[in-house]
Chains A and B, each alone.
Chain A
Amino acid sequence: MDDYENVKKLLDKYGDDIYRFAFVLTCSDKGASALLSEAVSVLSGEDKFTKNLTENRNLLFSALVEYAPKHAGIFDSKQIKDKYGEKDETFYDLLKAPIAEKAFTHLTLYEDLTEKEAREIIKRK
């Protein structure tokens, strides 16, 4: 199985979840797209993807954290509200936080990872 199939399977199963993570890290759809593109491209180029979906997901999470600074935009609550509607204020507060902090919160809250697992994913950064 090649990278394309591996990535396709990964995104078929976790696509929206991965995208949400990228969105939280970059604060924008544009940034999330670019971040995902770079992360997938690099991992693919380095032949990092395997057949294990969970492993691939965590690998991608790490890469997203690593490359997020290049794609992170300025938090714009109005833009997000206009597109996605009103959110809880704590959500906006989180978006303002540093990338590592956002990643940790998201991975533990949304992905239900343990703190240790989350740290292991973020530690590469």
Chain B
Amino acid sequence: MDKIKYILALNNIRMTDAAKESINRGLRTASSDAWRRKRRKTVTAAVVSVLSVLLVTALIVVAVNSIRNQQGKDGPVTDAITAAPPPTTAPETDAPVAIPDEEYFTVRALYDNIPYYDVFRSAASCMIPTEDESAVVLASDLSAMYGYFGSEDTESICETLFAFYERGNSYVYYSIPEDLDPKSVEISEELGLASDSCDRNEIIVLSAKNGTFEYLLTFSVLEPKNWGSTYGSYTFFNSAGVILGKYSAGTGYRILKYNMNMIRANVYKIRNEKGVPVIYERTSVRFRTGMEENSDETVIRADNANVSFVKRTGVLKKGAFITDSHGYVLMSATENDPEEKIGPSGKSFYFPYSYPRGDETGAVSRKTVCDIINKFDLQWFFPCYVCEKPIGTTIIGGGIKTPFSTEGTLVPSYIDSSSIRVEQRLFVDLSGTPLISSICYDPSVCDRPYFNLNLINSGGLSMVEIDLVNGTMNICPTLEDALNLREPEALESGFEFNYMYMADKKGVKGYPFSAYSADLLPFCGAYGHGSEKNGLTDALGLKTFDFVQPISVSVNGDEPVEWMDTLILTRKMHAISTDDVTAAFANKGDTKKYRYVTAYQTERSNVIDVNGEICGIMTGGGAYLFDTAMHQFTFLVIADSDGYLLYMGPETHYTQENTATEQNGYRFEKTQSGIFFGTLAHAAELCSGDFVLLSFKNDGPETFAEAVYMYAGRVSYPLRSGMKTITTYNNGKIEKTEWPYHTETNLLQLPEPSVLGEFVFFSENENAIIIGTPGKKYDVLPTAEDD
């Protein structure tokens, strides 16, 4: 390349202002939480300040004593520790913590700069629950949320953020009440010392999900308010003013090992309710050394690099956190069982605070949803529309009746292969404006946002209209009626009303619900384009092609859905490990690279296995599986000698042994569910628009094709009537012919056997999978295995 031309070509490319700003941000705010800090106001309640000063004085003594004790046990500590200033005088810039790296335990904060968790951290920072199930919230801190909620109504914010608010005899205090004395000192300490120089921050270091509840392990630390001037590096403290460690952008929080027992840690139980993190419980946890063997505790292991689950559970019944390197174990002070306080009586649990987004006509309070569910024995309710009438309010939404068995007992809901995730459904009104509503549910019978086949069978999905004035309710008799609902029946005249139907009707039309309904899979809308090219193929160093079309798969009842290919294409796939194998195909004269890939898929913060089931969680350190032995993660990736991706799919359908030794083509393993289309398509080198017959049936002396698909990239579509180009694959030769196909009969007569050639790839019972030209008759040909 010509040097002069190259330099000239770059001549007018200069750093943009946006780039400069971006670099500044990178310097100053990496891994930071700008939103929260900017809005958080100083806690200046006089009583807190006074208490803080007193407390600081006391805690300095405690800290110094503690450190002296540590010196005796763990050897000398540095001057930086012994000289740890109290928060009120915390250094505004990086403190000289000159301690070797091996003396730090490093954790990375999860969910930084995610608004949802920003709200949680802000709320958690200014709230503590008390023993009597009330919560103390400092109104001065809470005011930081005004901007987010667009309101200065403290009560409303509390109602939204704190489940405590809805509990019968519980209260949310907006300041430390005098009658809480003598606990007030402890409370003020828990909230962090009010200081002009420090903010309290809840660092999320681990998360786990159980149903719709999420459990977050947090470290509560104090950080300098003017962290922005520290260029991403500063010292942080516990609420007693003891230095816990050092934060550095890019590295994360480095905690001094010998101060780990001074960390104030909590496990929060929260739930996403209409995009707001509602705090249900908080349990204080602490480190301890040693751990009983054969304990049934949930163990969460932490080492210097990562924090991970080592024993499967979705629930922190007894949280225990151990560190390999230092022998500390973090134990929960009390059992934290989400089921503990959720009884079947229907009276002691809490429902989401709900309101339809995009609809400004009204809001549905948590209490109202609770009343609706209880009054009408619903398991789930999803408010779709709220109409404020001159008198009263009408709420229209979908309801699912609580299922009862023939014995009259509740039928539990559970995740199984017939469950699909419907946490959020899209509704549209007639004007085409999307209206999103989440499902509200009764956690006593279903704590998971899944439609369940048993539930549908026994309970049924219904559209529900609730008129809060007179309590009338209309329930459509069947699911199909609900889906086809065109006009609610009990509307009053005199007010404008937009009715709605389920926009994703297609997704449920293939009743019973498919476990892998395509509309619920994470799609990669424009794979291979733009800067979002960060998927599995990139991780493998493969090139991609032919993935330019938005992926969409039609769900068609019992027809095999090539969901795996769709899954594979998502950019949410992560490769864990690979193992390359190179094999030559004699008949192709080509060398292909085989790569076995262990990979997993993520959806939100969940890890999903190839069966579409949640089997782990994502944290900042990667994917953590509840039980690695139980899930399928291995895929086969085939690339040509140039690195172009040819196939990605389940390796069980495409074995290395067979493909490497077969001289006349490809062979496939039998599966009970049939062959995977992507495998077949790849073997036949299908092109977009090609025509494939997937199965046939015998009808007397003649055989007819069923399930005819058109291949479009890696996706198959049912065909429409008309002339179709049919691709044949015969001894490595591809031919194309045109043939009429009629969807009215969904049948296509097959060609004479003599025409077919070696088209049979797979045969099982009466189902053959072929690629071939059409004809009149067809005899079952020998399978590849019979060769």
Partner of A11, one of B23, B232, B529, B534: B23
Docked Cα-Cα span, A84 to B9, in Å, equals: 9
Interface size on A, residues (CB 8 A): 50
Docked Cα-Cα span, A81 to B12, in Å, equals: 12
* A82 located at the interface, meaning its Cβ lies under 8 Å from any Cβ of chain B in the complex: no
Partner of B23, one of A30, A40, A69, A71: A40
On whether A36 and B27 interact (CB within 8 A), knowing A19-B14, A23-B13, A110-B7, the answer reads no
Residues of B within 8 A of A30 (CB): 531
* A28 located at the interface, meaning its Cβ lies under 8 Å from any Cβ of chain B in the complex: yes
* Contact B19–A88 (Cβ < 8 Å): no
CB distance from A87 to the nearest CB of B (A): 4
CB distance from B734 to the nearest CB of A (A): 30
Q: Secondary structure of the A side of the interface?
A: helix
* Contact A4–B231 (Cβ < 8 Å): yes
Residue of B nearest to A34 (CB): B22
Report, as a range, how many residues of chain B touch the other chain.
35 or more
Docked Cα-Cα span, A26 to B12, in Å, equals: 17
On whether A73 and B6 interact (CB within 8 A), knowing A33-B16, A40-B27, A84-B12, the answer reads no
Residues of A within 8 A of B531 (CB): 26, 28, 30-31, 34, 71-73
Partner of B6, one of A37, A40, A109: A109
CB distance from B364 to the nearest CB of A (A): 40
Residue of B nearest to A11 (CB): B23
* B589 located at the interface, meaning its Cβ lies under 8 Å from any Cβ of chain A in the complex: no
Q: Which of B526-566 contact A (CB under 8 A)?
A: 528-531, 533-534, 538
On whether A47 and B19 interact (CB within 8 A), knowing A73-B531, A84-B12, the answer reads no
Q: Which of B10-31 contact A (CB under 8 A)?
A: 10, 12-16, 18-20, 22-23, 25-28, 30-31
Docked Cα-Cα span, A75 to B207, in Å, equals: 38
On whether A19 and B13 interact (CB within 8 A), knowing A36-B22, A36-B26, A73-B530, the answer reads yes
* Contact B3–A109 (Cβ < 8 Å): yes
* Contact A46–B251 (Cβ < 8 Å): yes
Which residues on B are within 8 Å of A, measured CB to CB?
1-3, 5-10, 12-16, 18-20, 22-23, 25-28, 30-31, 231-233, 248-251, 528-531, 533-534, 538
The contact sample of 24 A-B pairs, CB cut-off 8 A, is: A20-B10, A23-B10, A24-B10, A26-B531, A34-B531, A36-B22, A37-B26, A41-B27, A41-B232, A43-B250, A44-B30, A44-B249, A45-B233, A47-B233, A74-B530, A74-B533, A84-B13, A88-B6, A90-B2, A90-B6, A91-B10, A93-B1, A110-B3, A110-B10
Given contacts A41-B250, A110-B7, 13 further A-B contacts (CB under 8 A): A7-B27, A11-B23, A19-B14, A30-B531, A33-B16, A34-B22, A37-B22, A44-B231, A44-B249, A45-B30, A45-B232, A47-B248, A110-B6
The 5 closest A-B pairs by CB, nearest first: A45-B250, A41-B26, A37-B26, A45-B249, A19-B15
